[in-house]
Amino acid sequence: MNTLRGRRGAARAVADVDAGSILASVEIAAAPERIFQALASREIVDWWGKPSVFDAREWSGDVRVGANWRASGIGREGVRWELEGKFLEVNPPRKLSHTWNAPGSSAEPSIVTYLLEEIDGGTRVTLRHVGVSDRDSCIGACMGWESSLTQLAARLGALNP
């Protein structure tokens, strides 16, 4: 497995396209409680996505086990996208896990899990996204998570190298 050590404040993501999984990590100069809030609120629209490729515009959710979340935005060439899921585990401020799927899709939902670990000067966020159905989606999601977590770090405070 590749190591995720690198420049602090810049996220690093790797994809195993054969397994349909992504592993990403970033270190942020903020407390786990603050980061959990950014992961589990409408604040997601401020950091999630990649400008001009995957812009999040709306998010709603009831952050408790079994409850739903929903997000939408604008993708490449102005194409609207929507995602939804259910919360599987809500353990503030250490862990958040939910399903991920397009509304009405017949595909099995993938699962996104955020782990927050307190470190000197902040928090290490480790994301695992498993069950991604195809190679292209896995590559795109990997690039998207790297960009999104880098934006989250920039918004909340990147740790200095």
46-73 residue pLDDT tens: 999 887 788 899 999 999 999 999 999 9
Q: For residue 120, which phi and psi values (nearest 5 degrees)?
A: -55, 125
pLDDT at 5 over 50: no
In one-letter notation, the amino acid at residue 35 is I
Mean pLDDT of 117-146: 95
What 3-state DSSP class applies to 9?
Answer: coil
CA distance 60 to 89: 17
Residue ranges per structural domain of the chain: 12-156
> Which CATH fold topology does 12-156 show?
Alpha-D-Glucose-1,6-Bisphosphate; Chain A, domain 4 (3.30.530)
Name the pLDDT band for 157 (thresholds 50, 70, 90): confident
